[in-house]
Chains A and B, each alone.
Chain A
Amino acid sequence: MTVETPLLEVSNLSVRAGRDPEASLILNEISFCLEARRILGVIGGGGSGKTTLARAVVNWLAPPLRVSSGEVRFRGQDILRFAPEASRSLRGKAIGYIGGDPAGALDPTLTVGTQIVEKLRAVEPDVTRQEAKERVIELLAAVRIPTPSQRFNEYPFQYSGGMMQRAMIVDALISKPELLVADSITQPLDVTVGAQILRLLRDLTEQFGTAILFISASLPTVADVSDDILVLDGGQMVELRPTAELIRAPGHPYTKKLMDELPMLWSKDLGARLKPAPAIAEPILRVSNVGKTYSISPRSGIGRARRLQAVRNASFDVFAGENFGVVGESGCGKSSLMRLLTALERPDTGTITFEGKNIFDQGAAATKAFRRRMQLVLQDPYSSLPPQASVGDIIAEPLLIHGLGGRAARRAQAMEMLREVGLPAACFDELPMTLTAGQRQRVNVARAMILEPQLLIMDETLSALDQTEQGRLLDLFERLQAQHGFTYLFISHDIAMVRRVCARVAVMYLGEVVELAQNERLFFDPGHPYSRALLSAAPTLEERRYRSEDCLLEGEPPSPIDLPPGCAFASRCPHVYETCLKRNPALTDRGNADRAACHLLTQGSAQQKDHAQ
């Protein structure tokens, strides 16, 4: 056997932010090899330098970042020493790159097809336009984009996030690269779509023999696809080992910490955290048969307006003192539901009652009083705080709005809240600019609870935070609940978080509540195929109870505009049969107040078995 030079060989690579030898070190002495057909995963938290590494490998560091020492050898040649023109011909041709922002990766004013053709002809000028077009359409079909010849002529904004990421994979693979750098490619996608992209990526490496440098902040995702894993922490390479070995016995404390912070879906007993709903209690919030449809007028201004059914026939109760979760992926109607629950918009059908009163059948004063009893904490820690007001003023503002207390009293109360959410008193007169994302969310929580509400709606409140910070805030929520008796309604896409904190969960898909179940039941015996698909796609290192290959068909949710009749999940459901396409199943009782909407539940169990196979 001859000793071959590896495809990619990075040796002692250091990157600094500036020319100064004292400038801060972003990457410190990174070394690794990547052979053809292999997938090397790179894992690291925010600021670990993983994106810098990805960019250094394609020789595209933006100033002030620059390589201070080391080599990146591609097929034995050091690409860092290439002239810009030579490295450009390498980039995009022999080395493909896919980033984590598929929505912004292409010029919005040109069709997707045109731009991939443009790229192919830029790196391979000999290809004719017609040939290029044929190759692009062929590859669009290979990444399972439906009707590729039609999709070729569509604009980026007409693609969903998942479709766009597939198109970017085509863009990277069109020149048959030997190395593909994939930087956080599943991060902005819904878990079920991300799982499909990962599956696709694995198939393609088999097919094309491409080596992949797979970079992600999620250990389960990296472990899912990679042969080996490199762990980065603060620009240092702390570990590089085969995946199975690393997962079995993490060597470095940082790797151990990463693994410990991972949420567990099935292995840990979480019962203690979750209070069961009191059997006979009167619900604090009652949502019955709520529906909301938006009409979208056509672009030309003439013709029929189309109907977007954002929320369809949603019903559930939330009991005082419990944690209730609403989970679902983008476009499932979570945010529309939040707008209805907070009386920002009126539903077209159905009623919402809070503490026994219909929230829409009351005057302005009563609505204001209702809003005092029910507060909202939003997702984005940056845009949800006014940048020019001090933290103290922000927290005290709700008191001002509701006309409570004098100036001094408000100030004292705001200070008290600040302390309660665990922020230093010194923050009081600061602007939010100086705070971290986690601290900002604490300000948001303080602002919501200063009115002493009964119900707190957490709309993706933790989504923007990292694992560690999420854990701390969840502990805070728990403590505050014990002290003040809050009821929490968590709206989230993160099923692992829901597993940790919510006693009962409503699963939404395309505007409908498809399953309503207690925590344990949902995770161990889900009643709806979509819940199973969601569980199968959740990133976890545990032994999976559900495999995404069995639970989810290729494809994306249909558009909520002009929905076809029948079950909305039918197009992605592996158990689909005729009835599913004709009639939309109603929520069926599964005992213990757990309900799910699936035709299989109402069929005989024998038949269910038939269709399941």
Chain B
Amino acid sequence: MFILGFLARRLAQGALIVFLVSFLIFTLLRVIPGDPVRLMVGGMAPDELVEQIAAEMGLRDPIPVQFMRYMGGVVQGDLGQSFIRPASGAAVGGAQFDDATRSERARVLTLIADTAPFTIQLALLSMFFALLVATPIGVYGGLNQGRWPDRLALYIGSLFVSLPNFWLGIVLALLLSVHLGWLPAIGYQGFAYTILPAIVLAVEIIPFILRTLTVSVAQIMRESYISAAYIRGLSRTRIIFAHALKNASVPLLNLLGVQFSMLLGGVLVVEFIFDYPGLGLLTINAVLQRDFPLIQGIAIVTSAAFVLINIIVDLVSTSIDPRLDY
């Protein structure tokens, strides 16, 4: 009963958030300078043609009308069609203003569905790397507050947080791909192509996890139920694994939720550097091409993902700590 009520309430809130985000993006895209139709038809096309196509596409209607028409499609699962990209592949553009194959332009949903798995794979792998490194160091640091493991966690965190990701990406590509030839770096032709960008992203996330873990583990170890547990006759192993880590996992989970949402939202720089065909690269290209429907689609999908991840994090947190009440 609690779960159902919770889900109903949170999903309703989430739908509202997604709606507001869509409206904001939609309006902003239409008030900024730059006419997408001109970009589509090319610089050589006559003005009348631009106006004609724009009118055909409904781009001269008032913004609220355009928005409602668009949202009508969205609720039915139709995010519209790309202005620029054909269903077949290579980007259209330039002078092909008389190209009559506009109906064959790619569907936004298909474009996103094709790239999202790459980004999800990248996000999961970088999360995995980050946790693999940060969990033991962070927990050990938290258990030994003020001593060397704590300082080690601090130093690693400070070091990693000050490495710029574009620089690290380039250096790692140079070292691991070019010099050593261990890992492929550019593009995507298999799972191995995910590893290098995932490492770069993991380095970015590790400082946050380290900080959260050392602080929360150290704080939990000072709680009275931990010292009481020793007097009650529980073993240290049991206290740490069954009680301390369980309690320390709630703040970590919240952090991971936020970080994962950011990774899904498209890691622009890293995907760009490694030419990784994920949502980030798709976003960059869509923005450069003023491909309004695609930008909107990406915004809606990522904000929906944000909302869902937050709901899942809160649900899991409540099941770990029943005192929490969202």
The distance in angstroms between the C-alpha atoms of A333 and B255, with both chains bound, is 39
Q: Which residues of A contact B1 (CB under 8 A)?
A: 300
Q: Which residues of B contact A105 (CB under 8 A)?
A: 224-225, 228
The distance in angstroms between the C-alpha atoms of A302 and B7, with both chains bound, is 11
Known: A118-B242, A302-B8, A303-B5. A107 touches B231 (CB 8 A): no
Q: Is A316 an interface residue (CB 8 A)?
A: no
Known: A302-B5, A302-B8. A109 touches B231 (CB 8 A): no
Q: Are A99 and B234 in contact (CB under 8 A)?
A: no
Q: Is A97 an interface residue (CB 8 A)?
A: yes
Q: Are B243 and A107 in contact (CB under 8 A)?
A: yes
Q: Is A34 an interface residue (CB 8 A)?
A: no
Q: How far is the CB of A521 from chain B (nearest CB, A)?
A: 43
Q: Tell me the count of chain B residues lying within 8 A, CB to CB, of chain A.
A: 29
Q: Which residues of A contact B234 (CB under 8 A)?
A: 92, 118-119, 122
Q: Are A171 and B224 in contact (CB under 8 A)?
A: no
B286-319 at interface with A (beta carbon < 8 Å): none
Q: How far is the CB of A563 from chain B (nearest CB, A)?
A: 23
The distance in angstroms between the C-alpha atoms of A123 and B235, with both chains bound, is 9
Q: Which residues of B contact A55 (CB under 8 A)?
A: 231
Using CB atoms, name the residue of chain A closest to B1: A300
Q: How far is the CB of A125 from chain B (nearest CB, A)?
A: 11
Q: Tell me the count of chain A residues lying within 8 A, CB to CB, of chain B.
A: 34
Q: Is B48 an interface residue (CB 8 A)?
A: no
Q: Are A92 and B247 in contact (CB under 8 A)?
A: no
The distance in angstroms between the C-alpha atoms of A310 and B137, with both chains bound, is 48
Known: A88-B235, A108-B225, A119-B232. A302 touches B323 (CB 8 A): no
The distance in angstroms between the C-alpha atoms of A118 and B233, with both chains bound, is 10
Q: How far is the CB of A50 from chain B (nearest CB, A)?
A: 16
Using CB atoms, name the residue of chain B closest to A154: B322
The distance in angstroms between the C-alpha atoms of A212 and B323, with both chains bound, is 34
Q: How far is the CB of A209 from chain B (nearest CB, A)?
A: 20
Q: How far is the CB of A114 from chain B (nearest CB, A)?
A: 10
The distance in angstroms between the C-alpha atoms of A157 and B225, with both chains bound, is 13
Q: How far is the CB of A561 from chain B (nearest CB, A)?
A: 15
Instruction: Name the contact of A109 in the complex, choosing from B6, B8, B235, B322 (C-beta under 8 A).
Output: B322
Instruction: Name the contact of B231 in the complex, choosing from A58, A108, A155 (C-beta under 8 A).
Output: A58
Q: Which residues of B contact A155 (CB under 8 A)?
A: 322-323
Q: Are A301 and B9 in contact (CB under 8 A)?
A: yes
B interface majority secondary structure: helix
The distance in angstroms between the C-alpha atoms of A302 and B325, with both chains bound, is 13
Q: Which residues of B contact A447 (CB under 8 A)?
A: none
Using CB atoms, name the residue of chain A closest to B320: A109
A55-111 at interface with B (beta carbon < 8 Å): 55, 58, 60, 62, 88-89, 91-93, 97, 99, 101, 104-110
1/0 contact string of B229-247 vs chain A (CB within 8 Å): 1111111001000110011
Instruction: Name the contact of A108 in the complex, choosing from B4, B227, B230, B323 (C-beta under 8 A).
Output: B323
Q: Are A91 and B223 in contact (CB under 8 A)?
A: no
Q: Is B321 an interface residue (CB 8 A)?
A: yes
Using CB atoms, name the residue of chain A closest to B238: A122
Q: Is B191 an interface residue (CB 8 A)?
A: no
Q: Are B232 and A92 in contact (CB under 8 A)?
A: yes
Give the one of B232, B242, B323 with max A CB within 10 A. B232
Instruction: Name the contact of A299 in the complex, choosing from B225, B235, B246, B325 (C-beta under 8 A).
Output: B325
Q: Which residues of B contact A108 (CB under 8 A)?
A: 225, 247, 321, 323
Using CB atoms, name the residue of chain A closest to B226: A107
Q: How far is the CB of A58 from chain B (nearest CB, A)?
A: 6
Known: A105-B224, A105-B225. A92 touches B231 (CB 8 A): yes
Known: A105-B225, A108-B247, A302-B9. A157 touches B323 (CB 8 A): yes
Q: Are A300 and B231 in contact (CB under 8 A)?
A: no
1/0 contact string of A140-159 vs chain B (CB within 8 Å): 00000000000000010100
Instruction: Name the contact of B224 in the complex, choosing from A60, A101, A123, A175 (C-beta under 8 A).
Output: A101
Instruction: Name the contact of A104 in the complex, choosing from B225, B232, B238, B242 (C-beta under 8 A).
Output: B225
Using CB atoms, name the residue of chain A closest to B223: A104
The distance in angstroms between the C-alpha atoms of A93 and B234, with both chains bound, is 10
The distance in angstroms between the C-alpha atoms of A320 and B297, with both chains bound, is 72
The distance in angstroms between the C-alpha atoms of A119 and B320, with both chains bound, is 20
Q: Which residues of B contact A92 (CB under 8 A)?
A: 231-234
Q: Are B232 and A300 in contact (CB under 8 A)?
A: no
Q: Which residues of A contact B2 (CB under 8 A)?
A: 299-300
A530-564 at interface with B (beta carbon < 8 Å): none
The distance in angstroms between the C-alpha atoms of A367 and B320, with both chains bound, is 46
Q: Which residues of B contact A106 (CB under 8 A)?
A: 225, 228
Q: How far is the CB of B49 from chain A (nearest CB, A)?
A: 54
The distance in angstroms between the C-alpha atoms of A109 and B316, with both chains bound, is 12
Q: How far is the CB of A10 from chain B (nearest CB, A)?
A: 18
Q: Are A122 and B233 in contact (CB under 8 A)?
A: yes
Q: How far is the CB of A411 from chain B (nearest CB, A)?
A: 41
Q: Which residues of B contact A60 (CB under 8 A)?
A: 230-231
Give the one of B228, B229, B243, B247 with max A CB within 10 A. B228
Q: Which residues of A contact B6 (CB under 8 A)?
A: 299-301
The distance in angstroms between the C-alpha atoms of A101 and B222, with both chains bound, is 14
Using CB atoms, name the residue of chain B closest to A93: B233
1/0 contact string of A180-217 vs chain B (CB within 8 Å): 00000000000000000000000000000000000000
Q: Which residues of A contact B228 (CB under 8 A)?
A: 99, 101, 104-106
The distance in angstroms between the C-alpha atoms of A58 and B224, with both chains bound, is 16
Q: Are B232 and A97 in contact (CB under 8 A)?
A: yes
Q: Which residues of A contact B322 (CB under 8 A)?
A: 109, 155, 157
Q: Are A107 and B233 in contact (CB under 8 A)?
A: no
Q: Are A300 and B5 in contact (CB under 8 A)?
A: yes
Q: How far is the CB of A187 from chain B (nearest CB, A)?
A: 14
The distance in angstroms between the C-alpha atoms of A155 and B320, with both chains bound, is 12
Give the one of A58, A91, A109, A155 with max B CB within 10 A. A109
B1-31 at interface with A (beta carbon < 8 Å): 1-2, 4-6, 8-9
Using CB atoms, name the residue of chain B closest to A91: B233
The distance in angstroms between the C-alpha atoms of A92 and B239, with both chains bound, is 14
Give the one of A104, A171, A299 with max B CB within 10 A. A299
Q: Which residues of B contact A301 (CB under 8 A)?
A: 5-6, 9
Give the one of A55, A93, A122 with max B CB within 10 A. A122
The distance in angstroms between the C-alpha atoms of A498 and B305, with both chains bound, is 60
1/0 contact string of B52-88 vs chain A (CB within 8 Å): 0000000000000000000000000000000000000
Q: Are B231 and A97 in contact (CB under 8 A)?
A: yes
Q: How far is the CB of A132 from chain B (nearest CB, A)?
A: 14
- What are 16 A-B contacts with C-beta separation under 8 Å? A97-B231, A99-B228, A104-B223, A106-B225, A109-B247, A109-B323, A110-B246, A118-B242, A122-B233, A155-B322, A172-B232, A298-B5, A300-B4, A300-B9, A301-B6, A302-B9
Report, nearest first, the 9 A-B pairs whose CB atoms are least far apart.
Answer: A92-B233, A300-B5, A104-B224, A301-B9, A97-B231, A123-B233, A302-B5, A105-B228, A109-B321
Q: A88-B233, A157-B322, A300-B9 are in contact. List 10 more A-B contacts (CB 8 A).
A: A89-B233, A91-B230, A92-B234, A107-B247, A109-B321, A110-B243, A110-B246, A123-B233, A299-B2, A299-B5
